[in-house]
Amino acid sequence: MQKMIKNILFKRISKAIVDILLLIGLVLTIISANSAESSWWSFHCVVSMIWYLLMIVHIWHHWGMTKAVFKWKVLKRNKITFVTVIFFILATFSIILFIVDVSEQFVRFHHSITAPFRLVIIIHMIAAAKKFMALFR
């Protein structure tokens, strides 16, 4: 069963689908961020949680690169990926703070992380566009 799941998740088409869903999810989280309610079941929170799970799958797809990006040789050539990983870790920390307590201070911290994270993600997507297009060959 585990091998079957791995085979499905690591096919090129699976990677492409996850990437497309990540883009759609990013747009939806940005659009819904201003109207987010103080509920875990708000549209923004639900879409963001699904997006976060897709990010975990995306990181799993690129686990070798994710581990390697912390090595100096690889870091020099992949600064955007490194910055993306750092912002993802910071965003994860901000979500953990929400689990502890949804306070005005934690919301401000979350926004101070996610605003530049969006820009970093867009730069990362542009930089990886050639690899993405190769998934359809």
- The model's confidence at residue 102, banded by pLDDT at 50, 70 and 90, is confident
**41-71 pLDDT per residue, tens:** 889 889 999 999 999 999 888 888 777 777 8
Print the domain residue range for 11: 2-134
**10-49 pLDDT per residue, tens:** 677 888 889 899 999 999 998 988 776 767 788 988 999 9
Best CA proximity match to 125, nearest among 29, 33, 21, 46: 21
CA distances from 75 to 59, 62, 66, 81, 86 (A): 16, 15, 10, 8, 12
- The model's confidence at residue 136, banded by pLDDT at 50, 70 and 90, is low
**117-130 pLDDT per residue, tens:** 999 999 988 888 87
Q: Is 91 in contact with 113 (CB distance < 8 Å)? A: yes
Instruction: Specify the pLDDT at position 93.
Output: 94
CA distances from 93 to 35, 71, 110, 116, 120 (A): 22, 23, 9, 15, 17
State how many domains the chain has.
Answer: 1
Amino acid present at 95:
I
Best CA proximity match to 93, nearest among 1, 31, 85, 73: 85
Least confident of 24-28, 62-66, 106-110, 132-136: 132-136
